[in-house]
Chain A
Amino acid sequence: MKRRTLLALPGLIALESRGARAADRIKVGMLKPNIVTVIYWIAVRTGAFEKNGLEIAENPFPSGQTAAGIEQLMRGGLDFYLGASGEVAHADSRYVEAGKPPPIALIEGGIAGGSFLVLQNAVQGQTLDQLRGQKLRIGISNPSSYHLILLRAFLRDHGMTTDDFKWQFLTVGGPEMLPAMVSHQLDGFLHDALTTTLALRSKVGFVFMSSDRGDMGEQAKLLPGTGVCGNRAFMDKNPDVARRFAQALRDASAAYDAAPKEQMVAVMAEWSRQDPAVIDDVYDRFNPRVGMTRQAVQVWWDLLGSAMLARGEISPKLTLNDIFDLRFIRSE
């Protein structure tokens, strides 16, 4: 019954908005299946796009393939992309270094970080100092992983770098992290709430650090765990469409807040292709809502921007306005 109500919701909203105007068709890319981009699916399922006069051409990319999505966005093959933030800075930096205008911009982001360093139960050590000399193989979804940048930012604040540790960062797709840990190919991973929950449920690891707990610094709690970015040329030409796209995601966030847990668990399980029981566990550990504020933008820039700058990943010429298009960010 509940499922039926949920499925009927977009139809009702679409009927309501029909006749108002023809929907603008936009090309949207996203990581799929991936829990951090679930807000997109909530927007689809709650009819938020239709309500905002948008028709979506969906372009999924597998976990870890963020660079492919960003490349498409830069070329204009996509109008918007969900699931990246550090990569936007990297890509824009190359253009700024070459004296060209940045081609893409972040326009929205998740509310909370949701970054976890999970270690195998067998790993000995309660503090970072105790882990320092240990040769650990840590899985990351890609070399420019947001979680890795966040860890680097935290270490930098404490006068350390990842080079001070004897850790190996191995690139492993999100869905493969748990099997790799079970088969002792990884000693841990840096990833999101879903992978963390799966590891905890199968009792192979424990949470060593959690950004939401403040283990990666107090400011990390404010960091957007995921980014929504757009092609600047498209957004300059269609600012209203960009505004409506960001609004649709915020509407979906509001719908998420208002909906009963079990309904949202069903939607999230469908998108992430996970057992609803797993999503039920993730629910309290993960906040899929977007609604990035200018304060969060500043935190992103201060924390992640400076970590990337210190490592030489981005140019000193790059500014906050090169990465973010503040026209679409909430003022508070």
Chain B
Amino acid sequence: MDTIQPVSDIGLRPNFQRHVRARDRRIRLRRILRGGAGILAILLVWQVMSQALDLDLLLPPPLTVLRNGVTTLSLSDSHWLYGPNIYVHLWHSFLRAMAGFGAAAIIAIPLGLVLGRVGVLREFVLPAIKGVYPIPGIAWIPLAILWFGLGDAAVVFVVFATTFFPLFFTTEAGARQINPTVLDAGRCFGARGITLFFRVVLPATVPFIITGLRISLGGAWRMIVAGEMLASQDGIGYVLMESRFQFRAVDLMTAMILIAIVGYVTEKAIVDTIEKRTLEKWEVKPS
């Protein structure tokens, strides 16, 4: 009787893998090129508009902003008016953002998991959380200043209040919508209680948590700027506000671009790492 040879044995598998790798590379390159072309087109329009309409004081051209960015980051700006250097501001903003975001994650994820799985508790708690949810983060600032005073605590609280909700709702939705068949399968294998939670519930909810983390981290950076503009004397939000009062649009735009870069890097470093560690560990496929 003929036996079926494994694909690897007949030499198809390495070729196939090479082909897949090459295809992935091509797709990645195409994506980078298309994204780069989009960004380049925007920069070009921006440069031309700024020069043609003589808007350099209101909308400094990208080359000017780039030059200013280099000067700022190399600490060679002789007209630096914003106290400590840019790295100190960024570091302080980062710490505040991470403190608020971290506190939100510590509370929102477990709470979301519990409420997602325990219907009775959900019925008690969810209406209250949904009631507070529509309050925009910025509306918390006056109250935060009243409760915590001017300074870091108020800013951290505002970041917390902004990042908590997306993280909570995505986690809760993820935990609630786990396919009962998956849970039954877990139970069939003898998983109960904590084991079921760690082996089935948590891995099944991870893609939702990752999405929540991504949305919340973006929110943290958006809110840190608003908070620092009102209740701080350092941080990137402070630099933004001060540059507005100095009418330095180029500094304003440089600070905005730095926020975008730091926000992107933070997301890559934190969320992507968590995603890689958890999804790969539990072999969960994002839906």
Contact = CB atoms under 8 A, between A and B. Distances in A.
Interface residues of A, number: 29
Contact of A183 (B149, B231, B249): B149
Contacts, number: 56
Contacts of A94: 57, 247-249
B56 interface: yes
Interface in A23-67: 66-67
Contact of B233 (A70, A168, A313): A168
Residue among B78, B79, B146, B150 facing the most chain A CB atoms (10 A cut-off): B150
> Which of under 10, 10 to 19, 20 to 34, or 35 or more describes the interface residues of B?
20 to 34
Contact of B149 (A71, A93, A142, A185): A185
A90 B149 CA distance: 31
Interface in B18-36: none
Contacts of B80: 312
Interface stretch (B66-74, B238-246, B260-268): B238-246
B233 A67 contact: no
Contacts of B246: 90, 143-144, 313
Residue among A67, A70, A143, A172 facing the most chain B CB atoms (10 A cut-off): A143
A311 interface: yes
A91 interface: yes
Main secondary structure of the interface of B (DSSP, over half): loop
A95 interface: yes
Interface string A82-108: 000001001101110010100000000
B247 A98 contact: no
Contacts of A312: 78-81
Given A98-B57, A143-B241, A90 B79 contact: no
Interface string B39-81: 0000000000000000011000000000000000000001111
12 contacts: A67-B244, A70-B247, A71-B247, A87-B245, A95-B57, A142-B245, A144-B246, A170-B231, A171-B233, A180-B149, A184-B149, A312-B81
Interface of A: 66-67, 70-71, 87, 90-91, 93-95, 98, 100, 137, 142-144, 168-172, 180, 183-186, 311-313
Given A93-B247, A100-B57, A180-B149, 7 more contacts: A66-B245, A87-B245, A95-B57, A168-B233, A183-B146, A185-B150, A312-B78
